[in-house]
């Protein structure tokens, strides 16, 4: 079956001995592939509107749609993270946990936002919270830890911020 899905593999030429058999099997595999994909995904990418005849074309079309969707998902999650605002949440801890969740997701998606960058943005967005704990935490994070600051450091920071904020309230 892999040879039916790879656009690099040469197809049999029309009129050759195995062409009709290949054409039938490839069309069946293409149909089977389409049945395996979620209907909303197919509709979203309009894959029903321009059906492909052969398995390799179908597979390639779906792969490209998945790639496009992955890029869009990354953009969406990055923008969501960067536009999150403390004022959208009743409590600082709610904001911190939502921000932490968004950072973990962008990290999983490979968006390129480092834990250090996330920590700087988080603490900047909390700078107006009562007390001086946000400024103190920013000093603790430091100014030159881009290479050594890990995701576990960021998650620990989020936990510490929530504890400090809880004791201030």
Q: Specify the pLDDT at position 52.
A: 75
| Confidence band, pLDDT 50/70/90 cuts, at residue 119 | very high
Q: What is the dihedral of CA 149, 150, 156, 157, to 10 degrees?
A: 40
Burial class, 121, CB count within 10 angstroms (exposed 0-12 / middle 13-18 / buried 19+): middle
Q: Specify the pLDDT at position 39.
A: 85
Q: What is the mean pLDDT of residues 103-129?
A: 92
Instruction: Give the CA angle between residues 126, 79, 93 to the nearest 5°.
Output: 30
Q: Mind listing the pLDDT tens digit for each residue in 22-80?
A: 888 888 988 888 888 888 887 877 776 677 778 888 888 888 887 777 788 899 999 99
Considering the chain, what percentage of its residues have pLDDT values greater than 90?
Answer: 35
Distance CA 40, CA 150 (A): 37
Q: What is the 3-state secondary structure (H, E, C) of 25-75?
A: HHHHHHHHHHHHCCHHHHHHCCCCCCCCCCHHHHHHHHHHHHHHHHHHHHH
Give the DSSP letter of residue 86. G
pLDDT of 144 strictly over 90? no
| Confidence band, pLDDT 50/70/90 cuts, at residue 147 | confident
Q: Can you give the pTM of this predicted structure?
A: 0.64
């Amino acid at each position: 079956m892999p040879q039916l899905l790879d656009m690099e593999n040469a197809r049999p030429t029309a009129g050759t001995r195995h062409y009709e058999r290949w054409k039938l099997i490839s069309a069946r595999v293409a149909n089977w592939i389409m049945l395996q994909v979620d209907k909303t995904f197919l509709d979203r990418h309009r894959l029903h509107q321009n059906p492909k005849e052969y398995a390799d074309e179908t597979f390639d079309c779906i792969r490209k749609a998945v790639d496009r969707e992955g890029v869009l998902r990354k953009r969406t999650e990055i923008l969501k993270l960067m536009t999150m605002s403390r004022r959208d949440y009743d409590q600082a801890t709610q904001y911190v946990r939502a921000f932490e969740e968004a950072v973990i997701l962008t990290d999983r998606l490979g968006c390129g936002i480092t834990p250090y960058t996330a920590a700087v943005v988080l603490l900047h967005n909390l700078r107006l919270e009562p007390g001086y704990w946000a400024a103190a935490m920013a000093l603790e994070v430091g100014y030159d830890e881009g290479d050594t600051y890990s995701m576990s450091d960021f998650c620990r920071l989020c936990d510490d911020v929530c504890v400090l904020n809880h004791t201030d309230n």
